[in-house]
């Protein structure tokens, strides 16, 4: 008997990690919600939890890929939010919000929604395709997921000025894709067309969920001090624009594009609740930072070598991720309860920011890791290069 047979049997007998089960269950939960909310009215607070918890689980674990290393064992360069960016974000957000408000007041709302739906719909097609592609790839044979097609072209000078990240960036573009790319982008494009025509809330939510997952998994806040500055600024921003003016509520109600999650409250007559994507993405980026700090602490304590390609389903202690995620859910529930008591729109970050920030700090204090938390950074290589360039200029 071949010795490979017992090995194969032993491998097959290895139980799946709890993380692998939770990760797949999160996708299953979202898929089930997309289906049953067309027929069953679920309490709004429960809907919020059933949408946001799976989003956080999927996106935060995918964000561990930001810890991937290159061939030299160094972390790959990532674009992270700087302290200046964090301080200016509420200002730019206010300008954008006020501009939308004035545009809806001065221009035809139909025309505004047509333009915004077209723009965000195209972005949504890409976001949805990239979100579901790992699931689709897992169901297809390798010959359908390998990049067999190539498209080469030179970016025109005008477009290079708009899209190039560096002045000396190569204008030659090489796009590689597979049959699975064609499948997921094709289906996503069809869904985008149906949404543009019908404004069906389920497809709207699909695009909204995809936007959240892609934003959370790709954005790094560099370090916790930057995260605290950003959250404090948006805490004030949210309170001012919701309680101080009609601007936020007016724009949210007028906006038809997929920039929120819709919760059906009644089918006949149609009534809905909404949760802005910012109330998911902003805390989600912070929770993503927490899980990467968990990963860092596990590496340091167990002297693990840097991973070329991080296994997001590998189990490791996640006290910060779990505690802050629970705090986020409690903050959402509090938002929903207060909204129902006062029957008025609430700035969700008023509750989410204190819940998440104080929980993260409390966890660090109880574990004696406050110093470690404040010293933890991401995107170090980029910062070192900037310092070296500044020294040379001096």
Roughly what angle, to the nearest 10 degrees, separates helices 224-239 and 83-106? Answer: 30
Rounded to an integer, what distance in angstroms lies between the CA atom of residue 201 and that of residue 23?
Answer: 25
Q: Is 168 marked active-site? A: no
Rounded to an integer, what distance in angstroms lies between the CA atom of residue 227 and that of residue 221?
Answer: 6
Q: Is 279 marked active-site? A: yes
DSSP H/E element including 152 = strand 149-154
Closest Cα to residue 33, out of 16, 55, 51, 15?
51
* Range list of H helices, 303-318: none
Which position among 279, 294, 309, 372 bears the catalytic label?
Answer: 279
Which position among 238, 298, 311, 372 bears the catalytic label?
Answer: 238
Q: Which two tokens stand for residue 261?
A: 């999650």
As a dihedral over the C-alpha atoms of residue 212, residue 241, residue 230, residue 295, rounded to 10 degrees, the angle is -30
Mention every residue, 6+ apart, whose C-beta is less than 8 A from residue 324.
286, 287, 290, 356, 359, 360, 363
Query: Which residues are designated catalytic?
Result: 238, 279
């Amino acid at each position: 008997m071949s010795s490979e047979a017992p090995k194969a049997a032993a491998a097959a007998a290895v139980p799946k990690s709890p993380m692998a089960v939770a990760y797949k269950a999160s996708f299953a939960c979202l898929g089930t919600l997309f289906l049953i909310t067309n027929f069953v009215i679920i309490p709004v607070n429960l809907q919020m939890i059933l949408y946001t918890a799976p989003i956080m689980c999927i996106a935060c674990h995918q964000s561990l890929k930001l810890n991937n290393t290159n061939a030299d064992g160094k972390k790959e360069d990532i674009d992270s939010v700087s302290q200046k960016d964090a301080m200016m974000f509420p200002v730019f957000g206010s300008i954008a919000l006020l501009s939308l408000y004035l545009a809806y007041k001065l221009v035809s709302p139909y025309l505004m929604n047509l333009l915004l739906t077209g723009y965000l719909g195209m972005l949504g097609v890409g976001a949805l395709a990239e979100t579901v592609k790992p699931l689709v790839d897992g169901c297809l044979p390798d010959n359908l997921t390998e990049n067999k097609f190539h498209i080469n072209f030179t970016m025109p000078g005008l477009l290079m000025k708009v899209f190039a990240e560096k002045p000396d960036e190569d204008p030659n573009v090489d796009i590689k894709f597979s049959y699975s790319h064609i499948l997921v982008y094709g289906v996503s494009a069809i869904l985008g067309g149906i949404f543009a025509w019908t404004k069906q809330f389920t497809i709207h939510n699909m695009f909204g969920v995809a936007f959240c997952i892609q934003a959370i998994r790709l954005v790094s806040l560099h370090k916790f001090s930057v995260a605290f500055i950003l959250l404090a600024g948006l805490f004030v921003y949210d309170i001012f624009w919701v309680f101080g003016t009609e601007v936020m509520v007016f724009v949210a109600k007028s906006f038809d594009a997929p920039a929120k999650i819709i919760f059906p409250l009644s089918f006949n007559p149609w009534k809905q609740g909404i949760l802005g994507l910012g109330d998911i993405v902003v805390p989600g980026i912070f929770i993503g930072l927490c899980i990467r700090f968990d990963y860092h602490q596990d590496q340091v304590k167990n002297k693990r070598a840097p991973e070329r390609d991080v296994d997001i389903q590998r189990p490791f202690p996640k006290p910060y991720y779990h505690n802050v995620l629970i705090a986020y859910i409690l903050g959402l529930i509090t938002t929903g309860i207060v909204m129902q008591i006062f029957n008025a729109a609430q700035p969700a970050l008023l509750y989410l920011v204190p819940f998440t920030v104080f929980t993260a700090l409390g966890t660090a204090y109880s574990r004696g890791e406050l110093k470690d938390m404040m010293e933890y950074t991401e995107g170090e290589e980029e910062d070192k290069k900037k310092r070296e360039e500044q020294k040379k200029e001096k």
